[in-house]
Structure 1
Amino acid sequence: MTETLTLANARLVLPTEIRLGSLQIRDGVITEIGDGASVPTGAIDCEGDFVAPGLVELHTDNLERHIEPRPKVNWPHAAAIIAHDAELAGTGITTVFDAMRVGSIPRGKGRYLKYARGLASELWEQREAGALKISHFLHLRAEVCSETLLEEMAEFGPDDRVGIVSLMDHTPGQRQFRDLSKLEAYMKGKHAMSDAAFVEHVAHLKELRGRLGDAHEAGAVAEARRYGAVLASHDDTTEDQVTVSAQHGIHVAEFPTTVEAARACHANDIAVIMGAPNLVRGGSHSGNVAARELAELDLLDILSSDYVPAALLQGACQLGRLWGDMARGLSTVTSAPARAARLEDRGAIQPGLRGDVVRFQMFADTPVLRGVWSQGRRV
């Protein structure tokens, strides 16, 4: 049975412009785009609201937050996955790359324990059962400064929907935590570390990086190729680090921490992802470069919600105002991330693409969602 959805009298956010018109989705696929304010019989009158492609999220820690809502508090995974999926749908995200860390540090305070393989299997069970509202892929965060990275990555394969592998290196004193005082505040706040425990933690991580880091980095690159995943860097700080990223074949840089690194990324045809919370808050919580500064320098290509799902649409609209081009702002959370992740079937309002769309209006410079559809089905 054919299912048809028509959204009319809408400000359609097209790839390079916004214009008043209508949109038809049939059996989950966009079939027609019309012009004008007319509302055909059976259509939904959007009353001049924006209708944009569904948001594409490349890096969110939100599922991790649901399975551990507080330190050392574990939540049932099935319930956590369903709540995470519903929360993202409720913020306009229709495609997500769920970030899961691979690479454990099982010893000492501040340790990380293996969880990704089991959680991914539970996620796919729910997907197969039809319990999820939106489209899910995996983003494996490969922590080279760890003890078990390659063993954990070996448990995944080409059938696991691993779309992105990011090379993470949280060795203290470089990249995100060049300022050790920021790391100290974070670890003491999250893990209640004593001064002595923090010193021991830093020494342990540096020893791991020196002993295993290079082999882990090379192995993670090889595993990403085996999966057929896009490679991303994380927290590039210097031009030299970006040069290494380019040599690995990386085309996406998550959260470069300096203008120098962002410039080097563009010089090497590497797209720059910045956190929407950084933009909305007006700066980085780690003391690194502000997303707004990179946007003003035309060095920002993609937004990620990171740890606040609702920040994605809000940040994109904020960029639209900053650039004086709402279509361009929305592209940082729709077509640009879709291209970066090699998803050719979504990310734009265009005939033949998936019927993933969102309807929203602006209230005091804040977007208010009024509808979200995944493959033409309201979620």
Structure 2
Amino acid sequence: MMQAEFTLTGAQVLSDGALDDGVLGISGGLLSDRATGAQVALPGCTVLPGIVDIHGDGFERHMAPRRGAMTDLTVGLAGVEAELAANGITTAMLAQFWSWEGGMRGPDFALRVLEALERYQPIGTDMRIQLRLETHLLDDYDAMEQAVARFGVGQVVFNDHLPHEALARGKRPPRLTGQALKSGRNPEAHLAMLQDLHARRNDVPAAVVALAGRLAARGVMLGSHDDPDADTRATWRARGVPLSEFPETHAAAQAARDGGDGIVLGAPNVMRGGSHAGKVSARDMVAAGLCDALASDYFYPAPLRAAQILGEAIGLPAAWALVSDGPARLLGLSDRGRIAPGLRADLVVLDPAGRVCLTVAGGRVTHASGIGAAALIAARI
């Protein structure tokens, strides 16, 4: 949809930390406190800042619904954008692996995704790539850096999913055969690769420090994944990695808070009432003030629902900040995450039942249903 001038009326608007009746204009892709263009009446609805999803891999199901089925990944990206918009997400960091795991998590597929996103012309949703680098993939550091430079990747997160414990004991890691076949490797060749990567573990710390320094010099936001304890978080901070994604313990999150690091937790964890892997409860962490942002992780409907759940305990304005202003701040996106004149026109409108009925990204309507669709039709937009 082309950018249009219109004004949302009759709804409550979340601005400056409070819900209040207001008139919200949209012109040139930006927000205004003045009425402009057609009047879109939304009585009983709630207008909120668009959701900024700082980490989500739910896009994978659209990119490869069956092995070999998707030759043009831009087709998958259209499906991704539709799902994001239907869930009120206006900015999305697509968390793409650069991993020894191969398949959809391998470097070759990562390059295909980056190339497709470069070609894709979105309706309005701002979709960006977060590369998730497996730290022991030392021989791929140069290629990954080149991809960061070529495609303007703004965020890299360090992961280590090697089954070190089993490898250290000389055992076959669990699920080895299935993982190998999924990556297109012979199981024995896959095991040999894992053993080789594990054997080079002493080379990893210095290589990561050097890489982090080079990436930071490019202005890339750096994060660590699944910090298990305070010492690990301190180590990553010393390496120049200030973002802690999904810390596994209260101690790790507290260390991040004490060190001034950003803390990202999973919105599905909030929905479930606890971690599916038995880790720390995101609800408890939010209550303790140990969360700056909630991410969709693997389920795009989760940020909206998590904010609604938390809103019952801490109020909707504070809860919504965890899916809008909080992640925008961590990503350095000062032009969004809030409703204020001059900011990017990223909005989600909820109907009286709390369902997304209208999503606006960059001043363009990316989703409309129910009350929202009827209001646009009545306004002849």
TM-score range, shorter chain: 0.7 to 0.9
| 1:69 and 2:65 matched | yes
| Deviations 1:334-369, CA, capped at 9 Å, x for gaps | 111111000111110001101111100353xxx300
Q: 1:111 to 1:319 in 2, by over 3 A?
A: closer
Match of 2:96 among 94, 97, 100: 100
Q: 1:111 deviation in Å?
A: 8.2
Q: 2:8 touches 2:40 (CA, 8 Å); kept in 1?
A: yes
| 1:329 and 2:325 matched | no
Q: Structure 2: how far apart are the matches of 1:265 and 1:235?
A: 12
Q: 1:236 to 1:277 in 2, by over 3 A?
A: same
Which runs of no fewer than 5 residues in structure 1 stay unpaired?
Answer: 35-39, 175-179
Q: 2:5 touches 2:38 (CA, 8 Å); kept in 1?
A: no
Q: 2:73 touches 2:112 (CA, 8 Å); kept in 1?
A: no
Paired position in structure 1 for 2:77:
81
For normalisation by structure 2, the TM-score amounts to: 0.83
Q: 1:361 to 1:110 in 2, by over 3 A?
A: closer
Q: 1:144 touches 1:213 (CA, 8 Å); kept in 2?
A: yes
Q: 1:122 deviation in Å?
A: 1.6
Match of 1:320 among 288, 308, 311: 311
Paired position in structure 2 for 1:5:
6
Q: 1:216 to 1:4 in 2, by over 3 A?
A: same
Matches within 5 A, 1:158-237: 158=149, 160-172=151-163, 200=191, 204=195, 207=198, 210=201, 212-237=203-228
Q: Structure 1: how far apart are the matches of 2:252 and 2:236?
A: 11
| 1:121 and 2:115 matched | yes
Q: 1:125 to 1:321 in 2, by over 3 A?
A: same
Opposite residue 275 of structure 1, the aligned amino acid is G
Q: 1:26 deviation in Å?
A: 1.1
Q: Structure 2: how far apart are the matches of 1:260 and 1:91?
A: 32
Q: 2:70 touches 2:76 (CA, 8 Å); kept in 1?
A: no
Paired position in structure 1 for 2:363:
376
Which runs of no fewer than 5 residues in structure 2 stay unpaired?
Answer: 166-170, 367-381
Paired position in structure 1 for 2:371:
none
Q: Structure 2: how far apart are the matches of 1:159 and 1:29?
A: 29
Paired position in structure 1 for 2:266:
275
Stretch deviating more after TM superposition (287-296 or 63-72): 63-72
Q: 2:311 touches 2:318 (CA, 8 Å); kept in 1?
A: yes
Q: 2:180 touches 2:190 (CA, 8 Å); kept in 1?
A: no
Q: 2:164 touches 2:198 (CA, 8 Å); kept in 1?
A: no
Match of 1:135 among 126, 138, 162: 126
RMSD: 3.4
* Corresponding pairs, count: 358
| Deviations 1:111-166, CA, capped at 9 Å, x for gaps | 84532123212211113xxx443112221111103354303313224462322111
For normalisation by structure 1, the TM-score amounts to: 0.83
Q: Structure 2: how far apart are the matches of 1:77 and 1:283?
A: 34
Paired position in structure 1 for 2:142:
151
SS in 1 for 2:33: strand
Q: Structure 1: how far apart are the matches of 2:112 and 2:74?
A: 12
Q: Structure 2: how far apart are the matches of 1:183 and 1:256?
A: 24
Percent of paired sites with the same residue: 28
Q: 2:6 touches 2:37 (CA, 8 Å); kept in 1?
A: no
Q: 1:296 to 1:21 in 2, by over 3 A?
A: same
